Amino acid sequence: MFSGSLVAIVTPFKDGKFDETTYADLIEFQIANGTHGIVPCGTTGESATLTPKEHERVVDLTVEIVNRRVTVIAGTGSNSTDEAITFTKHAKNAGADGALLITPYYNKPMQEGLYQHYSSVAKASDIPLVLYNIPSRTGLNMLPETIARLSDIPSIVAVKEGSGSLSQVSAIIDLCGENMTVLAGDDPLTLPMMAIGAKGVITVTANVAPADMANMVNLAIRGNYEEARILHYKLNPLFTALFYETNPIPVKAALSKMGKLQNELRLPLTTISPENQEKLFHVMKTCGL
């Protein structure tokens, strides 16, 4: 159901508030450069520090601006199952095409807890759901066997797999077959994951290089891996640079340098260090940004 280069879009702030005008411009920039979908209120969108009211406004505005031109997958995850259900119901009512749900963080449920968490959200709303496995953020790994169990639930259609393990990706595809679409959750692994069966990526890099990310994914979908590899190696320094510090610190610095937004984050995130900023801007220049 979901494929392509789907941008995990930043949330721009101005004087501490959600900057709606800049956000609209960012979405138009993405669509004009071939991005296949917008993913608001994810980790890159600083969802952890959005108030519930802000969270819902970001999703509402995304759906309104996109106006069905591309896919919208709203981040609705939480370490509280009840809160995840509330956000997911809102995304459905707002008109989003799907919902992205991170594995519950900090409380570190067991695999059975993960199953019950996601199945409870699925029962509460019939919007298509995308699981999000990112052990480095949440402190737990959702195992392929758990993902396979969840793939039997009709509304759970995809997984953003960010474990960093191609072996795990292979196991998920082997166990789930056509029941589960795999999307890359690590930008550097987009092309390798697509080579073994993933259908695209939910990407940080597309915030600053949307056309190259979309073209790389399009080429891979068509099986043209020779040309896709050229773009992979062009983007590879940027994949590293955008994680010199915790995401979205570098990507907001990069977008600010490009004149796309004001470089403002919410505490406890702080702006990029001068040393890493200099290195980031050098990489941006070599990548043609």
Catalytic residues: 132, 160
Q: Which two tokens stand for residue 106?
A: 């900090």
Distances (CA, A) of 16 to 12, 19, 24: 9, 9, 17
Closest by Cα among 56, 48, 58 to 11: 58
Q: Which two tokens stand for residue 173?
A: 């595809």
CA distance 215 to 234: 12
Beta strands at 17-18 and 37-39: parallel, antiparallel or unpaired: unpaired
CA distance 159 to 173: 10
Q: How many CB atoms lie within 10 A of CB 152?
A: 11
H helix intervals, the chain: 20-32, 52-66, 81-94, 111-124, 135-138, 144-150, 166-176, 190-195, 210-221, 225-241, 249-257, 274-286
